[in-house]
A and B are shown apart, each in its own frame.
Chain A
Amino acid sequence: MRYVLTISLVALKESLRNRLFIGLLIFLGLFFLFSVYISTLSLGTPARFIENTGMLGISLVCLAVAILFGLFSIYQEKERNELYVLLNRVSRSSYLLGRFLGTTYILVLFAFFAGAGIFFLTWWLGGEYAPGLFWAVYWAVLEFTMLMGLGLLFYSMGVGFTLNSLMVLGVYIVGHSMNEAIQSFIGLGQLGNPIHMALVKFIAVVFPNFDMFDFRLAIVHDEAIPLGRFALSTIYWLLYLVALLVAGSVIMNRKDT
């Protein structure tokens, strides 16, 4: 565990000093400005517009962190052959977990900063006090740590950075479209083969389902999230993430580096 923490803290230090960190902060700032501008076209409901745009900003920033800090840096480490130096000292599982944790720190930092910024803008310009936005931060952290876990799994399989990023993006898009796709497929399935229908249902259950973390409308409308749903989504995240990280470790242990 000590090694995991050591690697994670160095990963955090590395990220904070990376020029990309400043770049993402600037991007976030611009997004705040964009949300303020958009709210002027809201016909008297600026708070809602700032919140919706803000939550999109949180998602985009977290996606950038997951890919640029999470994946890109790990590939760079391999390219510098520094990976071998580290694997000489720690197990592959510890390495993977340490890198994952290090990126999680940065993800939480950015998500929290984005959430706080939007909260402030909503209060100042929208005239609404919206603490629910910090739940958006929570769900974003869950969503994107799971996505990162997936990226690390692909990394452990030996997939290159470009393909890995595209696959992660693809999973992100499909994972957010599961409910809609299922509704469309159900229509097709009823006309077609029962095997096709079973396959579609199987994929819907097995594939990462990011709709589990979608409570955005509830947050905007200040509705309480039922405890049962909250627990179900959090447990789903925990189980799926552990499965991804363990699978990644197993594959990395068996594969030639």
Chain B
Amino acid sequence: MNQDAYIIETKKLSKTYKSKEGRIEALKNLDLRVKTGEILGLLGPNGAGKTTGVKLIMGFMSPTEGEVIFQDRRLMVGQPRRGIGYLPESFRPNPNLTVFEYVKFQCDLAGDGHEKVKREKVEELLGLVGMSRFPRRKISDLSKGMGQRVGLAQAFAGNPQLLILDEPTSGLDPIGKGEVIEVLLEMKNRGKTIFFCSHILSEVERLCDRIGILVDGELRFLGASQKFKEKWKVADLDEGFKLEAQCATS
């Protein structure tokens, strides 16, 4: 695998809203490149523009400026992102379906092929996220952590090359978080590229090859976490992050 090949990149990606207070620049000229096979974590405080950036990449919003290139193709707004598995923030799957039915539904939409393969694939996906013991359980009866794992399973449906996850461990207990991180590492071992947003620094540091720091819509840093600590001359990512955020507001 060519480590310098980029699976997805954004070029001057910007989003400006009009409001009563005037114009709000939610995202300013985001130039981001995700290397094939890496895990890139996008960090930032609440309201930094992380989810806006993700929605722009996924084509749910139209950018004020800029473009998104995926596997050398320009992505259009509103176009389905085949080859990208997506898990949105605060995601809850359909409560009226069972775990198996829901993941199968997503596999059907991801276009996996004929029936037999889909069943095996569904079982494989459920096994991957540790839900193989609960195929017939109704989603409404699942805990939050189990629901999140189902969300991950659906993101993996269709064998995507890139996974975009928005706050994948949000709302989970420490055990749940740990399980999700293990799954993501397993996906990385399988050659998947992962781009995710978070504001939990400890998991970012553990998982990511590189991190991006987004503050007030601007990308302040992009690189290895070690280099970020060196920039602010801190031992802890947490301290560096606070300094970065304070620098932005001053």
Contacts and interface: CB of A to CB of B under 8 A. Distances in A.
On whether A and B touch (CB less than 8 Å), the answer reads: yes
B80 A17 contact: no
A77 B158 CA distance: 21
Given A6-B105, A10-B105, A81-B92, A87 B80 contact: yes
B143 interface: no
Nearest to B61: A256
Given A6-B108, A253-B78, A84 B88 contact: yes
B96 interface: yes
A85 B91 contact: yes
Contact of A88 (B58, B92, B97): B58
Nearest to B92: A80
Number of chain A interface residues as a range: 20 to 34
Contact of A89 (B91, B94, B110): B110
A52 B85 CA distance: 53
B86 A10 contact: no
Nearest to A93: B78
Interface string A8-52: 001001100110000000000000000000000000000000000
Contacts, number: 76
Interface string B83-123: 01011111111101100010001101110000000000000
A90 B155 CA distance: 14
A82 B158 CA distance: 17
A87 B80 CA distance: 6
Contacts of B151: 85
Contacts of A80: 91-94
Contact of B61 (A14, A18, A88, A257): A257
A256 B97 contact: no
A3 interface: yes
Interface in B230-247: none
B154 interface: yes
B60 interface: yes
A-B pairs, 10 with minimum CB distance: A89-B109, A80-B92, A256-B61, A81-B88, A257-B60, A17-B96, A14-B96, A88-B86, A84-B88, A253-B78
Interface of A: 3, 6-7, 10, 13-14, 17-18, 77, 80-82, 84-92, 253-254, 256-257
Interface of B: 55, 58, 60-62, 78-82, 84, 86-94, 96-97, 101, 105-106, 108-110, 151, 154-155, 158
Given A14-B97, A85-B91, A87-B80, 15 more contacts: A6-B105, A10-B94, A14-B96, A77-B94, A81-B91, A84-B58, A84-B91, A85-B154, A86-B109, A89-B80, A89-B82, A254-B78, A256-B60, A257-B55, A257-B60
15 contacts: A6-B105, A6-B109, A10-B94, A14-B94, A14-B96, A17-B96, A81-B89, A85-B154, A87-B60, A88-B81, A89-B106, A90-B109, A91-B78, A256-B62, A257-B61
